[in-house]
Structure 1
């Protein structure tokens, strides 16, 4: 998380945190830890459900099934679905 920070930078951040939060720092750290733990638990639960769903999906995809089969009365794609154009008759009024 803090890969780019050295010892001096970490100590400077600690001093700034002490100046800003003072005696409330332990309470804030506990709240931050509880929130982080809760968030981490939710992420782990989501990942577990996704893995279970993925396993279930791969186990059912091994057998061929067709979920969407076209109805028998529906026209095939090779048949035209619009009426054929017939030009109007020519008038010979000339």
Structure 2
């Protein structure tokens, strides 16, 4: 009996994690839609929220490769020179996204 309870306690978080993640994604979507609906009232807001919430959730973006980061940072660094560019590139390449 103890072994079964231990096994269940180890497996339960793995089985429940997808449901918790889906809830968080929905909450995030609701927050985003509410923020975007600022200034809209009545039927206009209702229609906007319906459309916004019915859109498929954005797929989690694959992590950027180092090469993609370099391309993006180089494009963003246009116009910067010398130490300013070096500092910008260093910061940019450290970012996660």
- Could you say whether these structures have the same fold, taking a TM-score greater than 0.5 normalized by the shorter chain as the test? no
TM-score range for the pair, normalised by the shorter chain length: 0.3 to 0.5
- The structure with the larger Rg is 1
Q: Bigger relative contact order, structure 1 or 2, given CA contacts below 8 A and separation 6+? A: 2
TM-score under structure 2 normalisation?
Answer: 0.34
